[in-house]
Structure 1
Amino acid sequence: MKHTLRMAALAAALLIPALSFAQASNGPVTRAQVRAELAQLRHAGYRSTGRDNQYPSNLQAAEARIAAASGMAPGQAAPTMAPNMQ
């Protein structure tokens, strides 16, 4: 029993740092990229207001429409850099 517990703790200790770096590859976002994303959301029907009681679901629905229009799976990250930019 102790051996199994030790192995599970060791596996968790090795796995946690690997998972923490999963989102570390996101680079800085330019102002133009943020404005383009906001314009895309507005075009998909999202309207941000201070009195939005359905905030997460409205935003997620607009993102799903954008993903469907671009052929990407919902939740998949869109490319943030234009092909000619380095």
Structure 2
Amino acid sequence: MARERIQTRADADTHEQVEQYAEDRDISNSEAVRRLVRTGLVEKGYRESEIDRDELAVAEYHQTARTAGGALIGLLVVFLTLSEVGLL
């Protein structure tokens, strides 16, 4: 699907909020703006509601991967530290 380009300017607070939204969902700022605009259009009745299950699954997957990866790295550090000091 071809995408048309839309350009806009935003105040610093809005820009930070978009960046935070994108970071929380592990997506680009452009994708964050697309999703936020779509949500606004749906809420105002200019667009049919659509739920993209794939996007939701990816967002949940990334959070799970981060959580599990962090726990595994933590355990690795503990085991390596214990083996270095001779307790394991």
* Range into which the TM-score falls when normalised by the shorter chain: under 0.3
TM-score by length of 1: 0.26
Q: Which has the higher contact order (CA 8 A, sep 6+)?
A: 1
